[in-house]
Structure 1
Amino acid sequence: MAARRSCSCLVKQSESAIGADGELALEVCEEGVELLEALEAPPVVISVAGMYRTGKSFFLNRLGGGRPELGVGSTTEPHTRGIWIWHVPAAAAAAPPLILMDTEGLASSDRDESYDAKIFSLALLLSSYVVLNVVGVIDDATIERLHVVTQVATSIIVSERDGGSVSEHFPPLVVLVRDFALRPTKDGAPLGDNEYLEEALRDREDRRRPRRNQTRKTLRTVFPSRACCTLVRPVSDEDALRRAANLSDDELRPEFVEKLARLKAAILEGCGEENVAPRADIKRVLGHACGGATLAALTRKHVDAINSGAAPSIAGAWEAASRDVCARAVEAAEDAYAPDLPADGTLPAHAERPLNRTADVDALHRDAVLRAVAVFEARAVAPARNEARDRLDRRLAARAESLAADVVARSVAACVDDDPAPVPALDDPEEAGFVEATTDFLERRISRLESIARGPRRDAFLKRARFDAERAAVATCASRVSRLHAARRTAERERREAAIDAASERTRAAEERANWQATRADNAEAAARAATDELRAARRELLDEAAEIDSLRERAASLARERLAVGAAAHALGRLVAAVEAADARDADARRHAAELGELAFRVKDETRRSLLDEADHQQQQQPKEFFAPLGKLWAVGRDKVASVAEHSMSSTLLVLNVAACLSGFLFGYDTGVVSGAVEDVQKTLRLSTHATETAVAATPFGACVFSLVAAPLNALIGRRSTLLIAALSYTLGAVLVGSAWNLSSLVAGRTGLGVGVGLGSMTVPIFIAEVAPADRRGRMVTLYDMNIVFGQVVAGVVNGAALYANRGAWRFTMGAAALPAIIQGGLLLGLPESPRWLLHAGRRDAAIDALKRVRVSGDRAVVPGAVASELAAIELLVSKEREARRAEMIDSKFFFSWHNNPWAAVARTPARRRALAVGVAIMVVQALSGINAIMYYGASIARQVGLKRKQAVWTAAVFDVAQLCGVIASIARMDSDGRRTLALRSTSGVCVALFAMAACSPPSAIKTSIGVLLACIFYLFLFGSGLSGVAWTLNSEIHPLVTRSHAQSLAVSTNWACNFAISYFFLSVSTTAGPAVAFSAFLAASLAGLLWLFCFLPETKGVSLEHLELRFERPLSKHAALPMVTPLADEGGGGGIPAAPCKPHHPLHLDDHDDDDHHHHHQYQGESKRGDVPRHHQRRNSDENFVEVELV
């Protein structure tokens, strides 16, 4: 084959074919196509256009290295006809190929403007860099001659469907002014080359020639990336000018050579001291790199479009070229599919590839497919790549079936026994070595067959051959077996007789053992009768003692007055303080003793609280503080000795932990807020319907609903910190997937991933914060989580507003930016401790002590002796009680199909837990059904429905977020002072008023009603944030016991997200079809019902430690609204406290509970006697200390 030329004609005028315009058509030259298809990488295509006989070919020769590859004429007749291309070898191995494109000059004597337009349009469409050659100066005459350039540029379209701006698809333009001998100035000031070009393209005030200004404007518009370079005349002598193509650099003018070198470096390498021109890049079409084969196909499509008289379409030509290239890629891939099989019809040897299994044939097919796919992937281009790949896969699947059939046929031909020798017969089967000889024969025969068999039929063939050989061997051995059989029967008979004799001996021995055991049984029966008589006597004595004990208990109950309880509690607390202060110096026995004393004090305080709660219903007006004043003083003294956490300081670890946990709230809020402003751009970019938009928006609440249930076993199994790490990873992956979404499925998948992180975080963060925060700050710190939700919404609103000034694709950045705070959160969590309460529950006491020290002690303070141990003792007491309860209830997280073992069933097993669960679920339902997520997700859409423009709507949604943030900030300061119940009732009442105003003002019939809806929305969000927003999360983090806290809060959070999912899924359709008034009225009805429920049943929990909140739910919910709040005098990190509720002086210490609906349930400290339920406690005198302590049994 002859060597391919590096310079060939690509497009020329046909000699006979006529185009749609009646002129001679253009045709593509195969030599030029072959040159392009030989390129292995996408090339850089630099074209030169301009008036004829202006030195374009000379410039390209110099740009390509100085060799005169492109012809240069020395007469007035045009030399270059059509379009020629020159493949210049790359200077570096990694550099892309360089294609220099020389075009026929414009305005020649034998060509018209129509032909010039065709040639120039092809140069624009096929090149990645355009050089416009001009001689002399850029004056009005030059602008007039460039009118054909502007006609071509404005006739090209991007897409036949939606048009579009062609300027972003045109290559950079460099205006090369040749033979330039003047000095460019303006008003006497010198101008640079680029300034000279911009001055020449500036509009002139000349009404007589408006077309020139139009030409200037078009050049500025369609070529935003442009530059100018001036070159002097290459030589001074006229004779030398005619021979300039063959002159060396030394023979040319130095200033010409130097300026041309700088221009070449700027174009090809992007370097140079001055910004002479932009750097040339590889050819791209619609953002896709264009290889040589694709460029050749594009040339054919553009030439066909020009010949047909249609306007050149960039997108249409690219799609057609993609189909052609992909079709050729499929053919090349099929040719590359060549399984590695011998040509003679046999199968390869065992050492190479035996192909004995179907998997071996599949591997052979996969190797061939990999070669074919590699060829296809190297040549195919989008958008027809996927369709062509499917077609290739179908053809390769058919080739796989053919390959399997061929291998089976070859295997059948190879599996033939060409020497079926029989088993050798032996003269005497009794002789030694008979079995060895037969076995050796079989092994040799099978080995020979294994060496010749090949392919998938090999195993079946060898199995059959082995069966035939063994059958022959068995027949040969039959005679020997028959002779030996008689001897074996005789030996068997003798063995049986010996066994019978041995069995008779064993029977006699067994009878003797049985008689001996019968004698022992009689003796044991007599002893048992005697023991029974003794037990009966002992039982009678015990019954007498029990009667005496019952009488003593009744007497103790009448004497155990409040003063005795106060003294016992105070003395027990003093013992606890002494034990804690000496904890570091004492051994393990001393610590256990301190824990027992702590448990004693805790029980006494619990029973005292229980009696006071009973008394508070009918004794609210009698001396509320007199009785407990001595006890309060004693408690304050113990508190000052035990802990330093009453000082108002927060450890750095607790601060960082709170920040890391609250980043979940920020991400939650950012996702909620960013959807409001980006939903319209997402709809337009991905062409989504209203239902599809609702599906994408509701994917996050759906994922949160499901994974808030999954969060409960995760929290119990791996802890709070590890669950938040998983949530951060889900946030990151979901944000990346949403930011790069290409269709509805990928968008829904990314939104679901965000929902996974939201569900895990919204369930885990309140629990995590509540378990590490001090009780006096718990409400504010949990509310900070809610504030971060709203802060994230505010940030999302500002980002949405800023994105309005970018292009439509900015929503990918705004929605994908959530990955950054998620990564920061994961990094912070890696350096933080786990919840001390969870660590103790998991049996990791040392780790719990370290974690408690880190979250309770500031960096500039040392650990106060006994402070951590005191709080740890209270937590350990609660954990031990919960473990006992878990064992008593047989709760096991592994059982999900049994009511008694299921941890979900344990959530509602006792009345107190059912009441706490009802409160947690109800407050979440009230919060969700108030419509908050509908307004946050579709705030911009609501603003659009009331008549605002898009930018106004997005910034209005940002104002909504700021209003809610102000409300949340206001609630932080009042959460622990006004209380949860007061904030919830106040906030819900205001929400009802705002919803009524929103429903009354919708649909808007005038601008006043539109303003009314927006003001009502702002009022609604401020009131929602001032109470209902944070109270729901705070309550659910407090009211559930640790043993069921994860599962109970998981149910509450999942209910909240289920309601949010339903609202976000249907709100847009309802508000679009029936109007916003219907949706707001539904929210109003739900909020009114919720307000009534909250007023009747919502309890107050402010200032009560987690360890005492369970006692509040021992009462029916109907009594909580009127119940006075019980506040501990001192509560450190969730520890115990002394109640300050009103009580009657000298009231007896009652340990039983007189709930109206639970009177049939006995308290865990009650016992039973013949006279009914009485408090079970003993009075005992300690031998070491002269004090009386109450021991609860």
Structure 2
Amino acid sequence: MASDIDMPGPVCLIKNVKGQLIANQEALSILSAIQKPVVVVAIVGLYRTGKSYLMNKLAGKNTGFSLGSTVQSHTKGIWMWCVPHSQKTDHTLVLLDTEGLGDVEKGDPENDCWIFALAILLSSTFVYNSMGAINQQALDQLHYVTELTDRIQTRSSPDDDDLENSAEFVSFFPDFVWTLRDFSLELKVNGEPISADEYLQNSLRLLQGISQKEKQFNMPRLCIRKFFPKKKCFVFERPAHGKQLNQLESLQDQDLDPSFVEQVAQFCSYVFSCSEVKTLSGGLKVNGPRLKSLVTTYVNTISSGGLPCMENAVLALSKIENSSAVQKAITYYEQQMSQRVQLPTETLQELLDLHRTCEREAIKIFMDNSFKDIDQVFQSELGTKLETKREEFCKKNVQASLDHCSALLQEIFSALEEDVKQGVYSKPGGYSLFIQKREKLKKKYYEEPRKGVQAEEALKTFLQSKEDVADAILQTDQTLTEKEKQIEVERVKAEAAEAASKQLAEMQEKNNQLAKEKEKSYQEHVEQLTEKTKQEQAQELEEQARIFKLKFEEQVQLLTEGYQKEIKKMQDEMICLQNRKPKRKWYKLKF
């Protein structure tokens, strides 16, 4: 269980080997075992700014993520620590510590851009850690955010009109937290105290004007505001003085500045209580295996020279999930049928009724575990497999009936066969005695319960196998005239013809039942798909409403700043968002 996860320390999730990003299989295996929803907190920032210290505190430890004590960047790649969530027992907290941005030893700034992009793509809360105040230098260092649209695609085939639509990104992007370390300024404006959040909001105000200077000033601010509508800021005083800073791992809270200790506690409390589960479009909550799939897809795409596409990553994940959902549904169906069906069933309809009940439950399991099943490819696969399984059970039912009836006939007619061997009926009037005995035994056979769907066929086959015996007794019975013998032969033929006609009628009835069952199965699939579609559309509308609300709040803020150009852009985005209706499902079930 996810709550029992035992990671004594972090492991590398994404290796950075000479600028090449590689997913670490050990870390991916750990993620595979986490079935509970994950809250993913990633931290980025310049190297040697104390990112790892905050992540260790979120893990409830002083040590874990490497702090380092020199001017060199210590963390390489992206490291992961999965710990039980301190406040939500049904969640797992996944902490991602990234290598420091701007390390001169790396030489390739391209690598920093990808680390930054991956932290955003994988997290539900994104922490940007920097030193000192929010000034133009701090925002210039955050230039990675201005390059996100060049690094990340929301859809595999974006429309040209949507390239500037930040609503596409808002639906995928995490919450934004800016942590300011060694902050020494007073939080005041015009002599009045302000909160850290207000300080951040003021720092992101735009300049009026259209010159290159204003554009350069506004670009990072606009990107932060548009991509991250939910923003939070924390300021931290210097934790200690002098060489003590190099010993943070070994220092206790009483050895640190009390204000710093309190600020760290507030930061951790916010993350624990406000950070959401990593969620994909359509409201799908991410667990360990799903996070593993996202990591694999994004890293492989980057390594192959492509741009990470959020839609493609979700679709790749959906294929894995939907394939698993099909298998879960089939496994459940097989288990339930094996438990509920006692072969042979008395009638075919009895078996079909049990099948329909188990099928309905299996389809629901598929619906509960599947998402984004484009053109119902996997549901169609499920339908085909359920139909095959139904046919298999029908065949098993037939065979079970045949086996049972054959054994029953051998048991019931064994006395008659023994009498034939003893010559009991090889005498005048023997044929009449033989027929009487045979009819009596047939009646006994009919009285036996639960013979199954092959009761008549088994009896017909059995009696046919004994026709030579009956004919021999008939021909040797001297009390019967040749005409009487001929009449009896004709009667036997008539009985056989009647039995064949009855068998044909039963076969036609069976085919009619199976045809009706196939139609009922199809309707069951359509009904459950219709219900799921309604739920998905409701979730999509809810997501649009959330984005619309955030965009509206940002528009109000821009209005107070008098920035008309951006207001017009945002209004266009909101109109586009309003006009975007949930996609209608066109059912393409094929089975």
Would you say same fold, with TM above 0.5?
yes
Please point out which of 24, 35, 38 is paired with 1:43: 38
SS at match of 2:35: coil
> Residue 1040 of structure 1 aligns with which residue?
none
Distance in 2 between residues matched to 1:247 and 1:153, nearest whole Å: 42
- 1:594-673 correspondence to structure 2 within 5 Å: none
Corresponding letter in the other structure for 2:141: R
Please point out which of 199, 203, 207 is paired with 1:200: 203
> Residue 388 of structure 2 aligns with which residue?
398
> Residue 181 of structure 2 aligns with which residue?
178
Distance in 2 between residues matched to 1:289 and 1:384, nearest whole Å: 16
> Residue 126 of structure 1 aligns with which residue?
122
1:110 partnered with 2:113: no
Distance in 1 between residues matched to 2:250 and 2:448, nearest whole Å: 76
1:219 partnered with 2:214: no
Corresponding letter in the other structure for 2:392: S
SS at match of 1:381: coil
Gaps of 5+ in 2: 426-432, 481-530, 538-570, 582-591
CA shift at 1:247, angstroms?
Answer: 4.6
Please point out which of 266, 269, 294 is paired with 1:265: 269
Distance in 2 between residues matched to 1:183 and 1:142, nearest whole Å: 18
Distance in 1 between residues matched to 2:310 and 2:212, nearest whole Å: 35
The 1:331–1:31 alpha-carbon spacing in structure 2 relative to 1, beyond 3 Å, is farther
SS at match of 1:106: coil
Distance in 1 between residues matched to 2:280 and 2:341, nearest whole Å: 50
Distance in 1 between residues matched to 2:341 and 2:133, nearest whole Å: 78
CA shift at 1:5, angstroms?
Answer: 5.7
Please point out which of 62, 66, 74 is paired with 2:61: 66
CA shift at 1:811, angstroms?
Answer: 8.0
> Residue 137 of structure 2 aligns with which residue?
141
Distance in 2 between residues matched to 1:204 and 1:264, nearest whole Å: 34
Distance in 2 between residues matched to 1:48 and 1:158, nearest whole Å: 22
Q: In the TM superposition, what whole-angstrom CA distance separates every residue of 1:111-135 from its partner, at most 9, and x where no partner exists?
A: 2321000011111112121111112
> Residue 415 of structure 2 aligns with which residue?
422
> Residue 456 of structure 1 aligns with which residue?
453
1:244 partnered with 2:234: no
Corresponding letter in the other structure for 1:196: Y
SS at match of 1:322: helix
The 1:25–1:461 alpha-carbon spacing in structure 2 relative to 1, beyond 3 Å, is same
> Residue 194 of structure 2 aligns with which residue?
191
Gaps of 5+ in 1: 16-23, 270-278, 343-347, 427-433, 483-736, 744-802, 814-1193
SS at match of 1:305: helix
Distance in 1 between residues matched to 2:346 and 2:255, nearest whole Å: 75
CA shift at 1:382, angstroms?
Answer: 1.2
Q: In the TM superposition, what whole-angstrom CA distance separates every residue of 1:607-634 from its partner, at most 9, and x where no partner exists?
A: xxxxxxxxxxxxxxxxxxxxxxxxxxxx
RMSD between superposed Cα atoms in Å:
4.8
Q: In the TM superposition, what whole-angstrom CA distance separates every residue of 1:177-223 from its partner, at most 9, and x where no partner exists?
A: 12223322334333321122123333469977963443233323322
Contact residue 339 and residue 365 of structure 1 kept, 8 A? no
The 1:51–1:811 alpha-carbon spacing in structure 2 relative to 1, beyond 3 Å, is closer
Q: In the TM superposition, what whole-angstrom CA distance separates every residue of 1:1-21 from its partner, at most 9, and x where no partner exists?
A: xx9764443322356xxxxxx
Contact residue 322 and residue 384 of structure 1 kept, 8 A? no
- 1:496-645 correspondence to structure 2 within 5 Å: none
> Residue 294 of structure 1 aligns with which residue?
290
The 1:93–1:46 alpha-carbon spacing in structure 2 relative to 1, beyond 3 Å, is closer
Contact residue 297 and residue 325 of structure 1 kept, 8 A? no
- TM score, norm. by length of structure 1: 0.34
> Residue 1059 of structure 1 aligns with which residue?
none
The 1:75–1:445 alpha-carbon spacing in structure 2 relative to 1, beyond 3 Å, is farther
Distance in 1 between residues matched to 2:444 and 2:251, nearest whole Å: 85
SS at match of 1:36: helix
The 1:93–1:374 alpha-carbon spacing in structure 2 relative to 1, beyond 3 Å, is farther
Distance in 2 between residues matched to 1:219 and 1:804, nearest whole Å: 19
Q: In the TM superposition, what whole-angstrom CA distance separates every residue of 1:858-892 from its partner, at most 9, and x where no partner exists?
A: xxxxxxxxxxxxxxxxxxxxxxxxxxxxxxxxxxx
CA shift at 1:466, angstroms?
Answer: 9.8
CA shift at 1:809, angstroms?
Answer: 6.7
Please point out which of 297, 316, 325 is paired with 2:312: 316
1:446 partnered with 2:445: yes
> Residue 85 of structure 1 aligns with which residue?
80
- 1:1032-1111 correspondence to structure 2 within 5 Å: none
> Residue 97 of structure 1 aligns with which residue?
92
> Residue 892 of structure 1 aligns with which residue?
none
Contact residue 38 and residue 92 of structure 2 kept, 8 A? yes
- TM score, norm. by length of structure 2: 0.64
CA shift at 1:83, angstroms?
Answer: 1.8
SS at match of 1:102: strand
Q: In the TM superposition, what whole-angstrom CA distance separates every residue of 1:1056-1093 from its partner, at most 9, and x where no partner exists?
A: xxxxxxxxxxxxxxxxxxxxxxxxxxxxxxxxxxxxxx
Distance in 2 between residues matched to 1:810 and 1:211, nearest whole Å: 31
> Residue 509 of structure 2 aligns with which residue?
none
Distance in 2 between residues matched to 1:83 and 1:242, nearest whole Å: 23
The 1:74–1:130 alpha-carbon spacing in structure 2 relative to 1, beyond 3 Å, is same
SS at match of 1:259: helix
CA shift at 1:107, angstroms?
Answer: 0.8
Corresponding letter in the other structure for 1:9: C
Corresponding letter in the other structure for 2:227: V
Distance in 1 between residues matched to 2:212 and 2:575, nearest whole Å: 37
Distance in 2 between residues matched to 1:246 and 1:370, nearest whole Å: 59
Contact residue 37 and residue 92 of structure 2 kept, 8 A? yes
SS at match of 1:422: helix
Contact residue 79 and residue 98 of structure 2 kept, 8 A? yes
Contact residue 318 and residue 373 of structure 2 kept, 8 A? yes
Corresponding letter in the other structure for 2:238: R
> Residue 1051 of structure 1 aligns with which residue?
none
- 1:797-876 correspondence to structure 2 within 5 Å: 807=575
Distance in 1 between residues matched to 2:28 and 2:365, nearest whole Å: 20
CA shift at 1:263, angstroms?
Answer: 2.7
Distance in 2 between residues matched to 1:168 and 1:219, nearest whole Å: 11
SS at match of 1:173: strand
Bigger relative CO (Cα 8 Å, ≥ 6 apart): 2
Contact residue 446 and residue 465 of structure 1 kept, 8 A? no
Distance in 2 between residues matched to 1:226 and 1:291, nearest whole Å: 22
Distance in 2 between residues matched to 1:462 and 1:259, nearest whole Å: 87
The 1:364–1:37 alpha-carbon spacing in structure 2 relative to 1, beyond 3 Å, is farther
Corresponding letter in the other structure for 2:148: V
The 1:79–1:330 alpha-carbon spacing in structure 2 relative to 1, beyond 3 Å, is farther
> Residue 233 of structure 2 aligns with which residue?
228
1:255 partnered with 2:259: yes
Distance in 2 between residues matched to 1:333 and 1:401, nearest whole Å: 17
Q: In the TM superposition, what whole-angstrom CA distance separates every residue of 1:23-69 from its partner, at most 9, and x where no partner exists?
A: x4322223333333333344222211111122222212212323644
Distance in 1 between residues matched to 2:580 and 2:306, nearest whole Å: 36
